[in-house]
Amino acid sequence: MSRYKIVVNPVSGRGAGESAIPHLDHQLREYGLDFDLVATERPWHAVELAQKAVADGYNVVVAVGGDGTANEVLNGLMLAKKAGVGEAVLGLVGVGRGNDLAFGMGVPSGLDIGHQILYQDNRRTVDVGLVKGGMFPEGRYFGNGVGIGFDAVVGFEALKMKRIHGFLNYFLAALKTIFLYYQAPLVRIEYNDKIIDQLSLLVSIMNGRRMGGGFWMAPEAEIDDGLFDLCIGGQLSKLGILALIPRFMQGTQASHPAVQTGRTNKIEVTAQEGILPAHADGETICTEGKQLIVELLAGEIEVICQSQDGV
């Protein structure tokens, strides 16, 4: 029988994480699961808790929160695995703002559906990304995607809007970012023996499909195909950026002349002029980076997710 370590971020979703604890505790007991529940207390704490859970013999470590919590638990599991401590399955209950990592892994947002999926225990082996650069020269793991440029700044601005949540939060942040980040840096993008030197407003490197709760950066991406899906946007005017936003909401941006797409398992992005703001799963990698190397690790971890037929 599996042992579950439930890692809850109490401040996720304006306190949704904390309010979820009694209901989650009751429901998991009803399901008869063998679990312990612990709350995070500070940034990076979920990483430490996940590593300790693996060392203590837990088979499943569940992140209850948003993208940041999920990313930290994923990093804890990956660090434990790489250190030879052991392996555990990743569980996800999305109660944060965007929940894009959970969505990408096949777990819809919401407490009720989240614990039902844990009980159903459908498992899938998925790919994991590793980004090196900025504040993480040794690398930080991610499950959903890396955003460089415009979409990273959108995420930074979204964090400042404390009273607005969900997709509206990111949508308003995107409108604000048009007036903050519209001069694309000159970058060199290298992947698949290809070199692109151009002004690039954004470079999205996706394992999942969605960012910001409703922007379909890679609508055809698969989390277990061994490849990233790329979305590279060139320089546009402010009006051009505004006109492109609805395309990202519909996932039709690939037909725009300023957008290039591709697939790869490794990509290097270097700022030749200007800087690279970047995030991974919504977590800041750098605000003024110069070079990022992103690599895909195929079939690296098991995740508990919704079955193809639903719960």
Tens-place pLDDT, residues 270-288? 999 999 999 999 999 999 9
The CA-based dihedral angle spanning residues 288, 221, 190, 193, taken in that order and rounded to the nearest 10 degrees? 170
The CA-based dihedral angle spanning residues 298, 189, 213, 210, taken in that order and rounded to the nearest 10 degrees? -40
Q: Which residue has the tokens 């439930």?
A: 6
Residues of the chain with pLDDT under 50: none
CA distance 155 to 174: 8
Query: CA torsion sign, 229 to 235 to 238 to 243?
Result: negative
Q: Beta partners for 203?
A: 148, 232
The token pair at 100 is: 């894009």
77 Cβ neighbours under 8 A, 6+ residues apart: 50, 51, 54, 61, 87, 88, 90, 301
Assign residue 110 a region: left if phi > 0, alpha if psi is -120 to 50, beta otherwise?
left
Can you give the C-alpha Rg of the chain in angstroms? 19
Q: Tens digit of pLDDT for each residue in 41-59?
A: 999 999 999 999 999 999 9
Give me the pLDDT at residue 309, please. Answer: 62
User: Which domains are seen in the chain, by residue range?
Assistant: 3-121 (3.40.50.10330), 132-298 (2.60.200.40)
Give me the pLDDT at residue 276, please. Answer: 95
Q: Beta partners for 60?
A: 4, 89
H or E element, residue 170: helix 167-177
Please state the φ and ψ torsions of residue 132, each to the nearest 5 degrees: -120, 135
Are residues 76 and 51 in contact, defined by beta-carbon separation less than 8 angstroms?
A: yes
Q: Which residue has the tokens 């996720």?
A: 12
Cβ count near 240 (within 10 Å): 16
Give me the pLDDT at residue 21, please. Answer: 93
CA distance 87 to 278: 29
